[in-house]
Structure 1
């Protein structure tokens, strides 16, 4: 009986045909790198033009254990290798694990390696095992598309490279050996191997292989980390004609494809967990354009979530599912934490048990006015949520696709919200967090063969049903518009009301400014007509006055018209609000208009007054008396009209407030009454009386709080109103002062941060310049044989000066730098170098405990350096007045706190908090900004700092500062 034979096309179907998309292909290869005990995984695009590169190439690298020649043929080229599953997915620590702790395998089917076929063709694989020579394999995956070829018909060339100098020559040998696959034109039955429909494919493969060349920088850049040293190891896949989707990623502008790939690769491992609990690997995706202009595709649109982001969530849900519909955990609603348990009432069946798993989820409000955060922190987390927000699924620390993609709402949050958004509350894109599955604990939740999600079996359906019921119950109990418990809604409404009040005030300010701006446009037009009318009346009055005989009746109408215009004059003066500060542009227009009014008063109005004096001289006393009474009546009528209008407005407002007051009081009293009636009707026992008495008391307390929040403040404000105080003027003064201070602070904050560093480094420059000058003087006078030594000293001084400047330069722009893991040992060494001269000259004991030196923290490097420089610089100053000078650093493992202690003057108790206030300083000539900025920059990076005199901390009995993560 003939044996099974496998067509080459089967490998194509198992590999490229089983991979859903580009992110899945990359993550499959990264998982293989993890299984090979790699710590660093990269995918890199080298673009056309980079160091004269003629065509783009794509490179994937892992620094894992690599492969020998035997490994390639016995394992890598054997599909479905069972080495992972045979050992139950766990190795023994030793050379095969690169002496690292054994890892739970991410792959198990033995076909993940074929994902490389999805990335493009042709391909060069370079791999090196510890103690072995470099192995090179060349292949074009398109060869597998020939449906006439069997696997045993295909020759896959692999060679060993002992010397780097022979690499290019051996690469040509690889290509020539691969081209032998095309020498044979017919199979054993005499049929053509390449049919007419596939001749073009054959030509493309041959052409690609013939023209492909290794770039000039191949050895120095691409190979540098796996062949330069004897103990190098790892694997590289070099794709010479990358898939078009890869090349589309190089665009600077965001597009749907870019976002799809980026959001799919983001959080490849579970970044939501603390550093110590994550998988020990890092990923990067550099794009090489030209020297010095590289970028990382994964973070160029913003970094992924970190554990500290949970502190910025308005809601945090954390706990464990038991695999059978039960959940135990806790909810953090704004700043209050409560226990929460849930059990889904579905029918239980052992066949649908999916195993226990943890879940931790943060939820950020979509409206700023419903969030607990101030604007800066809200914008910070909102940018991440809008970019990456979703519920992510991980298995043994690796992300399971497509869960977490924007369009993959597998728990149907948005479908429910479309029906009743208020009731079901949760939105797929406003949440961030994870579900962590494990291969052993959740073995019934199985991956699809395409690596795209979980198989829709009974355990998965139960898993999905329990999660949906869980979130629906949360919405009904706490978060929906008709929630049974009011903790969340009360706090949300309180925040919303505060925000709405500020928004209304801002709107009122905006409307007032708009009205004022419009009036500045209208007034000149009205004033022009006013002047023309005034001139006309004056001209007519003057002509009548110079008649031979003046008759009062002829002048009376003109005088009344002029006097009426005089009364209207005040309406032509813009009313500047006392509550809001006009803009500079508005003030410019106002002053321009004011100059026109002044000119009118100095010319036309003065002429009018002179003319009226002449009129009075011409009129009789009786006529003048009549005119006087008329003028008084006009003034009285004008005042009466204004006062009546104000009275009407006041009465209208009082009536509106009174109606609103009555409605609110009736509503509150009715609420208490209805509660009483409901409770009274349910009393059937003595226990009911006791319980309902407690309930009515709680209701009373709730309504009392409502009175205090909604009614009392308004009444108190009205009670304080007085004609003696111009409320609008006071409000405007405070508002203007606030806006002014806010503007000044925004302008000076970055400059102040830089100024601290400059101030500290300044005196170091002066000392170094003196050293350089001294060396140069000696260099001129010393004998020749000593020139070398002196020149080396000169170089050291210049190098030291350069280093000091280097310390300053990264502090210019802290905001654009990413956080990274920094060892406290490196911080200590940095400080010793920075303050070397001061430590030596002042004979300061500069020490650190072993626990401090072994500790690490994740933070932006310039931030932590600036903070420590400031603290040590202050310590050196206060050590001047003591004999035993000591600065010491320690780390308390039990509390996670870093101690920065000195033996100088102790900080008085009443100053412990004040020293962190802006512009507060007890140091002569101190500006009082260093500690303030240190506290703020640490807070922005999820750390806090405080000073203490607690003897358990302040062991040197001087100043003691404590730095710890915000939890």
Structure 2
């Protein structure tokens, strides 16, 4: 009797060539881990070694199970009606529906790489040993071989196998290949090619277990591990994708959202995947499953619209539709495709969030809208979950299985929806949707009647939902009014914001221009020169008194000239004065500019302005004495008071006039608006009444009184709501205009409070951004600290050993000190972001300033010489000491000197000098490079502020922070002699030598 025989190539045809690609294969392996009751399944891809490691902590397999199940094609035992035993179940966990049912998912490993080492351990294994198997998939591609010809080396280990253990397994496979060649079943060329590939497999599971992240040690736990090497060349492309990073990669499209974690009420995932991609630098990786990469419940909550509900066994939708989070409708959508008889696809659930594509039509703020639009552009779509495990390729926006994008290209206003603006889930189950079966290659469902019904129900749902809620004009449903009205409100609001921002921008630009001009004039000493010029003119006016013979007339002329002089100087000061910004919020940088302006303006008032005022007094006294003229002090005082009073009344009357004009304008605008709205309402009512006259009620058999009355009521109500909403908004604005007195009897207006709140909001945003950046740095350094902790301990031990030698060998003392200081220097930088209890052990000490200079010369000597820069110090610096950690102060000096070298190289000064000085109040670091602008004196210490090309703006900020923590301060001081820039480290308790 004849029988079918199975060629070895059947595995290649059913496995690698059946699966759509590597991402699909990985998804299938994740499902297998789920079926094995694993809580975690982790992938570590080490690119430089072309090594792909997948580990789970599931039930694992005994040797018998591995041979009878894993190495058996088309494993039927996953079906409930099988005569064979079912797969093992973890009785301590909730039962899991079987996701893999074809028995060929494991064969997909061949698409990841040509050979795999498998380690698995089960608690049911009588020997409690680890089962290991080595498979080369290239053998199964060879023609002429039957399955029974292929040998799979299997061994048992008590411990995790080492490199030598795997070598022995490879020898078993190589021997079997040589046997096949000797029996002429495979060619010499194929034999050599495959043996070469096997020999290149140089993996040590024992070593990898020590280095890889995660608790998957098979000595302590059960599970299954796959070591695939080398990997297929397409894997890197599947992970990296195209150059356009706005488009998701193949790996992201297929693996993200493996379980539903996006909806607020999502079930707790039964299995958590991880995918660490080590791209080159050892121990540095990116996690494809980073939570920030995919949608989360908070994203879902803040979206513009939400639709959720259930489709019953007849395909009828019943659920809730929430529009702009202001109105929720209980809604039903019928489906007549099955003539209202039960469907074969069964009931299922849906929960979807949707975004308006334009910010001006969305209720989200600009930041969240931009963030979610970027996410939906990459990952938007309708994800399908069976028992909370994703079914591929649904969710991939390129797979338009519901004709969403196809319909939108026909008419976006009619069909409305786009996959790239939605994210949500369809939930089915193995119990209720048994006839929705996946294709063997995991390319979606088999297109049977159940699938066609399922697809048609959803297509009908989105078309009808668009008609009911998101359509204008003809064909719009009665419930679409909410979306239309709210969308128009958002557009009007956005346009108003745009107009306000444009107006504010003009004022901001003018304000910034005034500040820039002020600082430019300060740098040129223009204000001092102008005041000197005005004083020269004033002096000429005083000289007129010489020609007056009458004493009383001369006295009056002196008093009048004094008033003129003070008015001239006062007018000039008021002219250069920049008023505090009103009606717009300034940025942090501009606010710092304004604060710097106030300091400089105060210097002018207490400097040149006061000098000018004193000079006017001197001229009065000089001329009255020289000409022996008696000038009444009472008269001078009275005229001065009169002058100030007139100026105050003049300015106040002007503002009173402006206030009355503003009040009249607002009153007129409010009255005009109210009149316009009332006229519109009256016209609408009149039009409706005119139309009503033309309706022939009695003669029309089709006349529907209820619907006609509802239509008329809706039209009038809509116009009424428009009037009341607009006027309520105006009334609210008017009520927000108020003022009261504070504890000092000063009047505080709502405008001042609003400005203060706006400034506080900007400060909080800036602080939040700085904190986020610092926390990210902290996390990064935390990883470095963790990964290099053993290295640090080793270095510390070596330094202690070196100290023992240095104590008995003077020649080693300098070497030891330099190594120790540099080590603490490194720790000082890393320690800024490390919890104090984890910092390396150090002690405070007296630090001679001369040792600081020696350290700086050791570090920068070659660079200083290369750029022809001198590092000098004063006698004051030489004789002083600092008390504290070397690793606190050294990085500060290093950072400031490094900056000085950079900027000296940007200058044209011939003799470049950096000077170190100290006195009882602190230490000074000066240079004669480019000056630092007045407005930048504080800004240079802000995190992220830099004028260096490719600079990061971190050094001075961190230096100040770490000094503050130790009771010191760092700031920009007035430049010392022969210098343009001076930084000062202010000490609380300086130590003199």
The Cα offsets for residues 639-671 of structure 1, whole Å up to 9 and x where unpaired, read as 999999999988887776666555544444444
Distance 1:504 1:55 in 2: 57
- Secondary structure (helix, strand or coil) at the match of 1:183 reads helix
Match of 1:38 in 2: 37
Q: Which residue of 1 aligns with 2:26?
A: 26
Quick check: 1:46–1:288 contact (8 Å CA) kept in 2? yes
> Does 2:259 align with 1:269?
yes
- Structure 2, unmatched stretches of 5+, are 551-560, 630-645, 772-833, 838-993
Aligned partner of 1:140 in structure 2 is 136
Quote how far apart the aligned CAs of 1:467 are.
2.4
2:884 is matched with: none
Moved more, 382-391 or 23-32: 382-391
Aligned to 2:843: none
Distance change in 2, residues 1:609/1:417 (3 Å): farther
Match of 1:514 in 2: 509
Correspondence list, 1:743-822, <5 A: none
Match of 2:753 among 733, 739, 753: 733
- Tell me whether 1:452 sits opposite 2:456 in the alignment: no
Cα separation, 2, equivalents of 1:707 and 1:89: 71
Match of 1:240 in 2: 229
Q: 1:175 to 1:143 in 2, by over 3 A?
A: same
Query: For 2:297 and 2:585, how far apart are their aligned partners in 1?
Result: 43
Q: Which residue pairs with 2:482 in the alignment?
A: 487
Distance 1:713 1:573, change over 3 A: same
Instruction: Tell me the alpha carbon deviations over residues 316-337 of structure 1, each in whole angstroms, 9 at most, x when there is no partner.
Output: 2122234765322222331543
After TM superposition, list the pairs within 5 Å mapping 1:783-932 onto structure 2. Answer: none
Of stretches 350-359 and 112-121 in structure 1, the one that deviates more from structure 2 is 350-359
**Is 1:312–1:381's contact at 8 Å kept on the other side of the alignment?**
no
Matches within 5 A, 1:674-685: 674-677=687-690, 681=694, 684=697
Partner of 1:302: helix, strand, or coil?
helix
Distance (whole Å) between structure 2 residues aligned to residue 224 and residue 537 of structure 1: 87
State the aligned residue count: 725
CA offsets, 1:748-767, max 9 Å, x none?
Answer: 9999xxxxxxxxxxxxxxxx
Q: Post-superposition shift, 1:564?
A: 11
CA distance in 2, matches of 1:443, 1:102: 17
Alignment pair present for 1:330 and 2:343 = no
- Within-5 A mapping of 1:426-575: 426-439=417-430, 441-442=432-433, 445-455=436-446, 460=451, 463-480=454-471, 484-485=478-479, 486-491=481-486, 511-522=506-517, 534=534, 569=572, 571-575=575-579
Contact 1:65 1:96 in 2 (8 A): no
Q: Aligned with 2:292: secondary structure?
A: coil
Contact 1:322 1:356 in 2 (8 A): yes
> Is residue 726 of structure 2 the alignment partner of residue 706 of structure 1?
no
Question: Which residue in 1 is equivalent to 2:896?
Answer: none
Q: Secondary structure at the match of 1:39?
A: coil
Q: Aligned residue for 1:17?
A: 17
Distance in 2 separating the partners of 1:411 and 1:727 = 64
Tell me what 1:114 maps to: 107
Q: Is 1:343 the counterpart of 2:363 in the alignment? A: no
In structure 2, the residue corresponding to 1:17 is in which secondary structure?
coil
| CA gap 1:240/1:342 in 2 versus in 1, 3 angstroms | same
C-alpha separation between the residues in 2 aligned to 1:472 and 1:153?
Answer: 56
- For residues 275 and 176 of structure 2, what CA distance do their matches in structure 1 show? 34
How far apart are residue 178 of structure 1 and its match? Answer: 0.9
SS at match of 2:187: coil
Aligned to 1:174: 169
**1:433 Cα offset (Å):** 1.9
CA-CA distance at 1:340 after TM superposition:
1.0
d(CA) in 2 for partners of 1:638, 1:279 = 70
Paired residue for 2:593? 585
Query: Structure 1 residue 114: deviation in Å?
Result: 0.3
Could you tell me whether the CA contact under 8 Å between 1:314 and 1:363 is conserved in 2? Answer: yes
Whole-Å separation in 2 of the counterparts to 1:212 and 1:635: 88
Q: What is the Cα deviation at residue 367 of structure 1? A: 6.3
Moved more, 150-159 or 244-253: 244-253
Structure 2 counterpart of 1:208, from 184, 188, 200: 200
* Distance of 1:608 and 1:88 partners within structure 2: 111
How far residue 260 of structure 1 moved from its aligned partner, in angstroms, is 3.7
1:675 Cα deviation from its structure 2 partner? 4.5
Corresponding residue number in structure 2 for 1:624: none
Q: Shift in Å at residue 44 of structure 1? A: 2.7
Change in CA separation of 1:79 and 1:322 when aligned onto 2, cut-off 3 Å: same
Q: d(CA) in 2 for partners of 1:250 and 1:404? A: 18
Is 1:405–2:405 an aligned residue pair? no
Using the TM superposition, give the Cα deviation of residue 743 of structure 1 relative to its aligned residue in structure 2, in angstroms: 5.2
Q: Is the 8 A contact 1:286 1:294 kept in 2?
A: no
Partner residue of 2:156 out of 152, 156, 161:
161
Q: What is the aligned partner in structure 2 of residue 320 from structure 1?
A: 310
Contact 1:389 1:429 in 2 (8 A): yes
The answer to whether the Cα contact below 8 Å between 1:249 and 1:258 also exists between their aligned partners in 2 is no
1:393–1:722 distance in 2 versus 1, CA, 3 Å: closer
C-alpha contact (below 8 Å) 1:326/1:344 kept by paired residues: yes
Q: Distance in 1 between matches of 2:648 and 2:167?
A: 107
**Is contact 1:581-1:732 (8 Å) kept?**
no
Post-superposition Cα deviations, 1:819-869, rounded to whole Å, max 9, x if no partner, equal xxxxxxxxxxxxxxxxxxxxxxxxxxxxxxxxxxxxxxxxxxxxxxxxxxx
Q: RMSD across aligned C-alpha pairs, in angstroms?
A: 5.9
C-alpha contact 2:78 2:87 (8 A) present in aligned 1? no
The residue matched to 2:350 in structure 1 has which SS?
Answer: strand
Measured against aligned partners, the alpha-carbon deviations of 1:33-67 in whole angstroms (never above 9, x if no partner) come to 333x4232413316489xxxx87451333513524
What is the CA-CA distance between 1:84 and the residue it aligns to? 2.7
Residues of 2 paired with 1:181 and 1:586: CA distance? 83
Number of the residue aligned with 2:350: 359
The corresponding residue for 2:74 is: 80
Q: CA–CA distance in 1 between the matches of 2:656 and 2:41? A: 79
Structure 1 residues 599 and 177: CA distance shift in structure 2, 3 A = closer
CA shift for structure 1 position 727: 11
CA deviations 1:468-487 (Å, max 9, x no partner) are: 33223222322345554223
Residue of structure 1 in register with 2:116 after alignment: 123
Return closer, same or farther for 1:742/1:255 CA change in 2, 3 Å cut-off.
Answer: closer
Checking the alignment, whether the CA contact within 8 Å between 1:56 and 1:241 is kept in structure 2 is yes
Q: Distance in 2 between matches of 1:275 and 1:2?
A: 58
Contact 1:123–1:139 (Cα < 8 Å) also in 2: yes
The CA distance in 2 between the partners of 1:89 and 1:153, in whole Å, is 25
Q: What are the equivalent positions in structure 2 for 1:944-955 lying under 5 Å apart?
A: none
State the alpha-carbon separation in 2 of the partners of residues 222 and 535 from structure 1.
Answer: 78
How far residue 191 of structure 1 moved from its aligned partner, in angstroms, is: 8.2
- The TM-score, its normalising length taken from structure 2, stands at 0.59
Q: For residues 750 and 136 of structure 1, do their structure 2 counterparts lie closer, same or farther at Cα, with a shift above 3 Å needed?
A: same
Identify which range, 449-458 or 94-103, moves more after superposition: 94-103
Provide Cα deviations, 1:288-334, integer angstroms capped at 9, x if missing partner: 89999687824435275566765444432122234765322222331
Shift of 1:638: 12
**Cα deviations by residue, 1:687-742 (Å, 9 ceiling, x for unpaired):** 85565445544544443332232135436766998999999943123431564488
- The 8 Å contact of residues 389 and 406 in structure 1, kept in 2 or not, is answered as yes
